[in-house]
Amino acid sequence: MDFELFTNILFATLRTGTPLILIALGEMVCEKSGVLNLGQEGMVLMGAALGFIAAVVTGHAGLGIIAAILAGMMMSVLFAFLAVTLVSNQVATGLALTIFGTGLSGFLGAGYVGMAIDGIAPFPIPFLSDIPVIGKVLFSHDPLVYVSWVMFGLIFWCFRSTRLGLIIRAVGENPEAANAIGIPVMKVRYGAILFGGAMAGLAGAYLSLVYTPMWSEGMSAGRGWIALALVVFASWKAERILLGAYLFGAASILHLVLQGLGFEASPNLLAMLPYGATIIVLVIIASDAAKAKLSTPLALGRPYRPQV
């Protein structure tokens, strides 16, 4: 394998991992507050569809990103209203959000299938991108890759050393106790769910405006679900989400690697790899059940009804 190919593979790994990082970080914050939102896939699709539509209609990819974030947040409000305010079953509601989002995005985007746009151009960071190899791998990306790093930094810092991080964790571990010391549990959960929605929407925009600048029905291809597994795999730690997402990114672009080594394989068979890898990861997580239990937010998935 020649050197340039190796650089390209690393570059593509980072690109492929980025949407997973965005979704998984959003879901991690949501789960830290004790809410399990299985609607990631639906929110990502809505972000991808509306982001693309807005970019086509306005001609500005930037506005597309804003529309995608708003779309993700609107979807998450639906979830929050049902799961937090109306204390519905979080698993069923999350599934409903995915089914609804898949349907709605397919409906809204139906007239935009097959259209092409320029997408968001790469933004090589001056000077840094001139460094051999590292410059290409790390600093020649589109802006959203850098955004994913900034979000990672912020969330890492938030849960490591801020009051806000403590509050979110308190709500996710023991909402009754959090309420007793005056933390507005419902508001915190709403906030965490909205943040998760915004991140999922942003990931959708990444898919339809950067990764493959086009819209097609169901284009997220299960990334929302893979991200859910990633959060558990990372035991709710931001730095491990980053690592895990890039590992998945590498698995997803294995066809590049195989081509580099001179192998030919069916693209459909290779497309199974990230899903197979997810199953293996799920088995590994489950085999260490005691440890997984230790890091799971205690009140995850448990509805909370405030005392009147």
Partner 1 sequence: MFNITLEKRPSDSKTMSYLSPLFAVILTLISGGLLFSALGQDPFHALYTFFIAPLTDVYGWTELGVKVAPLTLCAIGLMLCFKARIWNIGAEGQFILGGLGGGYIALELLEAEGFWVLPVVLFCGALSGLLWGALTALLKTRFGANEILTTIMLNYIALNWLLYGVHGPLKDPDGFNFPESALFSDFATLPVLSDDYRLNISIFFALFAVAVVWALMSKTLLGFQIAVLGEDKAAARFAGFKEERLIWFVLLACGALAGLAGVSEVTGSVGQLNPYISPGYGYAAIIVVFLGRMHPVGIVFASMLLALTYMGGEMAQMDLALPKSLTGLFQGMLLFYLLACDLLISYRIVRKPAARAIGSSSNSAQA
| Contact pick of 261, 283, 290, 294 for partner 1 (by CB under 8 A) | 283
Question: Nearer Cβ to partner 1, position 53 or 138?
Answer: 53
Residue 8's φ and ψ, nearest 5 degrees, are -60, -40
| Contact pick of 74, 115, 166, 221 for partner 1 (by CB under 8 A) | 221
Question: First-to-last CA distance in the chain?
Answer: 66
Question: Nearer Cβ to partner 1, position 42 or 51?
Answer: 42
| Contact pick of 181, 261, 289, 294 for partner 1 (by CB under 8 A) | 289
Q: Which residues contact 8 (CB under 8 A, 6 or more apart)?
A: 256
CB of 295 to partner 1, least distance (A): 15
| Contact pick of 60, 107, 121, 133 for partner 1 (by CB under 8 A) | 107
Q: Which string of x and - marks every residue 163-182 that binds partner 1 (by CB under 8 A)?
A: ------------xx------
Angle (CA) 259-265-271 rounded to 5° is 100
Burial 60-95 (b: 16+ CB within 10 A, else e): ebeebbbbbbbbbbebbebbbebbbeeeeebeebbe
244 touches partner 1 (CB under 8 A): no
CA distances to 37, 74, 296 from 34, in Å: 10, 20, 9
Number of CB atoms found within 10 A of residue 148's CB: 25
**Would you tell me which residues interact with partner 1 (CB under 8 A)?**
38, 78, 82, 86-93, 95-97, 99-104, 106-107, 110-111, 175-176, 217, 221-222, 225-226, 228-229, 232, 266, 268-269, 271-272, 275-276, 278-279, 282-283, 285-287, 289, 301-308
